[in-house]
A and B are shown apart, each in its own frame.
Chain A
């Protein structure tokens, strides 16, 4: 594919349910990032994967959030026992880490609404 894709584009769930969000990065990009954007706020860093290194999880807001990445391909972000404050747009980005500064390519995002 030409760009970063994310699915689903929209997700409505009930409080307490688990959700799984998917990101397909640009082929060949070693770095993958997850961000969250709440209404009226900037992008909030969640987690970062680089190759086979241990991920940087420093942005995850609670242990209900986790993410995995298979090699240098697909990543899934899982939110367990969703809360209303988890409602946001979740953005994924990938980069090749070859430019200065690092140029991130973003997907269109998944809009999560927790009722």
Chain B
């Protein structure tokens, strides 16, 4: 039973436009949420996080929005660049520590020039 879901396996966006990646979770006790980016043949790299006491966190072109009532978060990338093409994993955690992270299956983003 997946606790963290990313229902879109893939997404294509034109360069310069907004990319929106979605993630849904089932456990209302999760209090930290993270996004990781993964290029082929490399390990995932941390991108941005948000705690459950916030509804928005921004870092440059990347913004994560959290809707606790809907158990939904999204990652917005504006403007999208070809170098953003990668697999994006959503993760959720009850508590701060890595062993509690639950990862979604990932969404492959393709940014077309």
Contacts and interface: CB of A to CB of B under 8 A. Distances in A.
Given A43-B89, A48-B98, A101-B49, A4 B43 contact: yes
Contacts of B46: 103-105
Given A43-B103, A101-B49, A93 B96 contact: no
A103 to B, nearest CB: 5
Given A40-B105, A42-B105, A93-B43, A100 B96 contact: yes
Interface string A82-103: 0000000001010101001111
Interface residues of B, number: 27
A33 B106 contact: no
Contacts of B106: 42
Interface in A21-52: 31, 33, 35, 40-45, 48
B29 to A, nearest CB: 15
A91 to B, nearest CB: 6
A43 B42 contact: no
B90 to A, nearest CB: 9
A31 B98 contact: yes
Contact of B98 (A4, A33, A44, A91): A33
B98 A42 contact: no
Interface residues of A, number: 27
A113 B49 CA distance: 33
B101 interface: yes
B34 interface: yes
B43 A97 contact: no
B4 interface: yes
Interface of A: 4, 9, 31, 33, 35, 40-45, 48, 56, 91, 93, 95, 97, 100-109
3 closest cross-chain pairs (CB), A and B: A106-B43, A42-B103, A48-B99
